[in-house]
Amino acid sequence: EAAIAKDLGISRTPVGEAIRQLADEGLVEQVPRYGTIVRRIERRELAELYEMREALESYSAARAAERISQHQTEDLDRYCAALDQIGRQARENDLTELDESLLNKFLAADMAFHLLIIQATGNSRIMKVVRSTRTIARIFHTRREPHNLAVVEGAFRYHTQILEALRRGDAEEARRITE
């Protein structure tokens, strides 16, 4: 903590808080009389996180279908439009995979879409759990398979179907598509 705080020119308090948060998320381990080390995330742990995320997000989609506001569906519509625009840009530029800029836009729109659905449940505990699992998922996003046009078009199609189920208030369909 002291070394990082000195390098950053800040006090130890925010560094200590950040390290504790990383430890809570399972990214680092604090070893007595040794220090803090970065944990190696096992493949099994990552699979478990995605399984948990699938369960929480599909449940959240069903609850959101019952509670989502018009303003929230309008925001989801904007995220879908962003995904569509990313696909258009990739086609116009004859990209076989998304470049870094388009990939970052894609991941941001995708994450915002899913987080807004969870927010629409009104359940802050689910939101907290999903945010912590997304922290780990974001760290590994560079190790994913490349995002080509088919991936973007598929994501746009599924996101649009989820949005339509939410607009209709069809909880079971929203859950099924999200899953």
Q: How many helices (H) and strands (E) does the chain have?
A: 8, 2
123 is written with which tokens? Answer: 């359940």
Contacts of 176 (CB under 8 A, 6+ apart): 58
Q: Are 68 and 119 in contact (CB under 8 A)?
A: no
Confidence (pTM)? 0.78
Chain-centroid distance, C-alpha 108: 8
pLDDT one-digit tens code per residue, 100-141: 889 989 989 998 999 999 999 999 999 888 877 766 666 655
Q: Which regions of the chain are under pLDDT 50?
A: 142-143
